[in-house]
Amino acid sequence: MQLAAESEINFQSEIYKDAYSRINAIVIEGEQEAHENYIKLAELLPESKDELIRLSKMESRHKKGFEACGRNLKVTPDLQFAREFFSGLHQNFQDAAAEGKVVTCLLIQSLIIECFAIAAYNIYIPVADDFARKITEGVVKDEYSHLNFGEVWLKENFTQSKAELEDANRQNLPIVWKMLNSVEKDAHTLAMEKEALVEDFMIQYGEALSNIGFTTRDIMRMSAYGLTA
Ligand code: Y39
Ligand code: FE
Ligand code: FE
Ligand code: FE
d(CA 144, CA 54): 14
Ligand 1 pocket list (CB less than 6 A)? 23, 26-27, 30-31, 34, 59, 62, 113-114, 116-117, 120, 143, 146, 183, 187, 192, 197
- DSSP letters, 76-128, are ---HHHHHHHHHHHHHHHHHHHHTT-HHHHHIIIIIIIHHHHHHHHHHHGGGS
pLDDT band at 226 (very low <50, low <70, confident <90, very high): confident
d(CA 106, CA 92): 12
Q: How far is ligand 4, taken at its centre, from the CA of residue 51, in Å?
A: 41
**Is the CB of residue 200 less than 8 Å from the CB of residue 122?**
yes
Quote the pTM value: 0.95
Nearest ligand to the C-alpha atom of residue 55: 3
Alpha helices in the chain (DSSP H): 14-44, 49-72, 79-98, 102-106, 114-124, 130-156, 158-189, 194-212, 216-223
- The per-residue pLDDT for range 106-160, each reduced to its tens digit, is 999 999 999 999 999 999 999 999 999 999 999 999 999 999 999 999 999 999 9
